[in-house]
Amino acid sequence: MSDLPTVVATRGAAAPDLAERAAHLDAVDELAPARALFTLNDGVVYLDGNSLGALPSHVPDRMRDVITRQWGELGIRSWSESGWWTAPERVGDRIAPLVGARPGTVVVADSTSVNVFKALVAGARLVPEDRDEIVVDGTTFPTDGYIAQSVARLTGKRLVAVEPAGLAARLGPRTAVALVNHVDFRTGRLHDLPGITAAVHAAGGIAVWDLCHSAGALPVGLDTHGVDLAVGCTYKFLNGGPGSPAFLYVAPRHQAAFDSPLPGWNSHADPFAMAPGYAAADGAPRGRVGTPDILSLLAADAALDVWDHEAVSIGAVRAKSLALTDFFLECVAAYAPPGRLASLTPAAHAERGSQVALRCEGAPEVMETLIARGVVGDLRRPDVLRFGFTPLYVGFADAERAARVLAEVLAGKAA
């Protein structure tokens, strides 16, 4: 648990200084124009994009076309004429550069949980059977743990839960596959994807990464760092909408041997032959199962248009994310009553995702009051206030206001 940064200015003098700095930082921010691409409520600071991203403003019109023309007028012809059939791979190719993957390696389909299941079982099938341990991040998002437990039961392997810091030391000749979260969902800690992946490979295992809290927030480098398999969602920093489908990455070197535990007709080499025997398709389509959720998939596709704007790049997003979270922590340190908050989020940039988690006594009541006052974060029981910073639509004035209102709530000031 890291200490909040020390601020030299006195509490009374800090407020105007920090507000002025926020205004200046927003004025020179190269990503500031991207804010206009989103539908945001006036007077609300939205710091929950790490749970559900904001709505890109053009998505409703795009979806009206999908529903009224593509579905309503063309009907079943849209599978070919509107490109519905190839959408899982086409949208995957749009996500690929955001996670450092080449075309043809990412497919968008199903939920994160389903893709974790596919990746773990398929990963275990890529190594010799005498490798009988599945290693899982001991701080993982609960569903990943539940899926890993089920996969262990189904495959007859032993599940080993290890905190990421100790994971490399626990790997060995029995390791089949390791499942790790790139960013810890509670604390915002960024784990060492290159180092852990290299350690898994040195032990002879398969590295599977959950990118739900990093895709669209920071560079990932799947190809560069030799990741084997990865999964991630599209509804957080990629702003695809509630429940929008997840994605699955399969490294090119594993695609021919990728043996999905869910071989559906959509991943068949000749799906419309309706053959009784299964023959897997080539490449990314092997990750498909059944009929795609076209409405949610095309909403996610439309949302990805924000990344087509010239100033928007994953590098610029990462730079602003770090600046925003630094500034927010500075404002919290300057404004908040002493001793009321402790940061769980690492101070070091190399260890930080795009959120700030603050331990706080009475956190449920504090967050409820914050939301009522127009600062929307979220809560991880029993005592963690979590604030997600999506640089495409969150500015420095938002960070300053959020910290100031938080301090007022903690000090018991009236709304």
Active-site residue numbers?
141, 210, 235-236, 386
* Residues whose CB is less than 8 angstroms from the CB of residue 10 and which lie 6 or more positions away in sequence, other chains included: none
Contact in structure between 32 and 26 (CB atoms under 8 Å): yes
Burial of 381 (0-12, 13-18, 19+ CB in 10 A): exposed
Question: d(Cα 322, Cα 328) in Å, to the nearest integer?
Answer: 10
The CA–CA distances, whole Å, from 111 to 234, 292, 305, 347, 399 equal 10, 11, 22, 32, 32
DSSP 37-78: GEE--TT-EE-BTTTSPPEETTHHHHHHHIIIIIIIIIGGGH
What are the b/e assignments for 150-161, b being 16+ CB within 10 Å? ebbeebebebbb
Question: d(Cα 329, Cα 7) in Å, to the nearest integer?
Answer: 10
Task: State phi, psi for 35 to the nearest 5 degrees.
Answer: -55, -35
Q: Check residue 35 and report its DSSP letter.
A: G
The CA–CA distances, whole Å, from 388 to 14, 264, 276, 373, 379 equal 24, 36, 48, 17, 11
Contact in structure between 214 and 141 (CB atoms under 8 Å): no
* Residues whose CB is less than 8 angstroms from the CB of residue 62 and which lie 6 or more positions away in sequence, other chains included: 298, 299, 302
The CA–CA distances, whole Å, from 308 to 97, 296, 301, 345, 359 equal 12, 20, 12, 31, 37
Query: And the tokens for 351?
Result: 């260890």
What's the farthest any 2 CA atoms get from each other in the chain? Answer: 75
